[in-house]
Amino acid sequence: MIKYLMDYLRIILFVCGVLIGIQVPGFVDQYGQRLEAHQLEAKLSLAEFQRDADRFFGGDFNKLISHYRQNNDPVVNAGGESIESIYQRYVLLTEALTQFRQHSYSPYQQLILAPQQDIQVEVWKNYSHVILLKPEAIAIGMLLGLLFAVLCESILSILYLGCRKVFVSN
């Protein structure tokens, strides 16, 4: 009877691991979509200022920011700080999006090693569970299912042997 329960437990653990694993590409996909949306939003926020930079400073955005910051009017000066902040965000998001799109494994690498924290948190809060039947989702699901089942079974075996040793010695 215990053998059957252990077999069912092993299957349940494997299936749970697979279900968790196939969510990974969906999360990565939603992260990429939000990263792109934020980058586009920052670009749209800078569009009018870019026209001014094109018209007055040969397209050099840094010269436009410098012009704002050198103005004696505190309102215009503060506006320069705001523009610079939006510009820095745009540059950061553009670099992150470029890295995200480099290779097929780049999205996973970015999410593990250097995610955009605010976007990652936003995706976690608004994540909609999906099942992508892409080969990578199936492969990650199977691998995670196997690892999860083996890990849990190993832990249970160690606990079982430890408890058995305690009861046998008494």
Domain of 87 in residue numbering reads as 30-130
Q: Report pLDDT digits (tens) over 4-30.
A: 887 888 888 888 888 888 899 999 999
Q: Are residues 124 and 136 in the same domain?
A: no
105 & 146 share domain: no
Residues 16 and 62 in one domain: no
Asked whether residue 120 falls in the same domain as residue 146, the answer is no
Q: Where are the alpha helices (DSSP H) in 22-134?
A: 23-57, 61-70, 74-100, 106-113, 117-126
- Same-domain pairing of 88 and 137: no
- Does one domain contain both 37 and 99? yes
Q: 18 and 44: one domain?
A: no
Largest Cα–Cα separation, the chain: 88
Query: Do 122 and 136 lie in a common domain?
Result: no
Residue 64 neighbours by CB under 8 Å, 6+ apart: 49, 52, 53, 56, 57, 83
Same domain, 40 and 74: yes
Residue 158, in any domain of the structure: yes
Q: Cα–Cα distance between 154 and 148 in angstroms, integer? A: 10
Instruction: Give residue-wise pLDDT tens across range 35-81.
Output: 999 999 999 999 999 999 999 999 998 999 999 888 888 888 888 88
Q: Are residues 35 and 84 in the same domain?
A: yes
Distance CA 110, CA 28 (A): 10
Structure-block tokens of residue 24: 């990974």
User: Do 115 and 154 have their domain in common?
Assistant: no
How many Cα atoms within 13 Å fall on the side-chain side of residue 64?
21
* Inside any domain, residue 38: yes
Instruction: Report how far residue 166's alpha carbon sits from residue 60's, in angstroms, rounded to the nearest whole number.
Output: 75
pLDDT in tens, 108-162: 999 999 999 999 999 999 998 888 788 888 888 899 888 988 888 888 788 877 7
Number of domains into which the chain is organized: 2
Residues 93 and 14 in one domain: no
pLDDT of residue 74: 85
